[in-house]
């Protein structure tokens, strides 16, 4: 089964040494909007996360955690067996298996303080929309900006890798 483009963007970010954990949610939304030729509307962001939480890639789950290097929440893909070493504050499950989880460090550092996975996701979507609605997807020098040339090269490279 082919893996979805969102999976490739998240996984390749770490695999290519672009970041320690994963991508920011605005980066993911922007990359997907570029790939699919769509505007990054609230509906598009909602659809993206519905896809991530409802259609997990076999053997993996997505984790939203805090990245101290850029002081932002990031989303990563991890192998299911890594769940044994992680404490998730809230999560979604599909078929009894975690598909999307939110870590304890995210609650404290980002002050997410949510009671359910749905609350966590709504807060992260609202936060992300503040940036993506202005065309700002990439965090550079402490603030969100439009994609850099390097970001666009990365997105194009992932498109090439994922089509093979």
Distance CA 63, CA 53 (A): 10
Picking from 24, 3, 59, 10, the residue whose alpha carbon sits closest to that of residue 142 is: 24
User: Could you read off the pLDDT of 37-58 as tens digits, one per residue?
Assistant: 999 999 999 999 999 999 999 9
Quote the crossing angle between the two packed helices 149-162 and 5-15, to the nearest 10°. Answer: 120
Distance CA 152, CA 148 (A): 6
Distance CA 56, CA 85 (A): 20
Per-residue pLDDT at 163? 85
Instruction: Give the 3-state secondary structure of residue 135.
Output: coil
Per-residue pLDDT at 113? 81
Residue ranges of the chain whose pLDDT lies below 50: none
């Amino acid at each position: 089964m082919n893996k979805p483009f969102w999976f490739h963007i998240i996984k390749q970010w770490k695999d290519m040494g672009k970041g320690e954990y994963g991508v920011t949610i605005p980066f993911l939304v922007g990359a997907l909007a570029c790939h699919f030729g769509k505007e990054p509307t609230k509906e598009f962001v909602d659809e993206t996360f519905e896809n991530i939480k409802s259609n997990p890639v076999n053997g993996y789950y997505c984790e939203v955690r805090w990245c101290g290097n850029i002081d932002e929440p990031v989303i990563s893909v991890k192998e299911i067996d890594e769940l044994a070493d992680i404490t998730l504050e809230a999560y979604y499950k599909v078929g009894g298996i975690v598909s999307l989880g939110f870590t304890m460090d995210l609650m404290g550092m980002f002050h997410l303080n949510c009671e359910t996975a749905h609350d966590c996701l709504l807060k992260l979507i609202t936060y992300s929309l503040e940036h993506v609605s202005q065309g700002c997807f990439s965090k550079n020098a402490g603030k969100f900006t439009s994609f850099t040339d390097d970001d666009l090269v990365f997105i194009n490279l992932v498109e090439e890798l994922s089509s093979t």
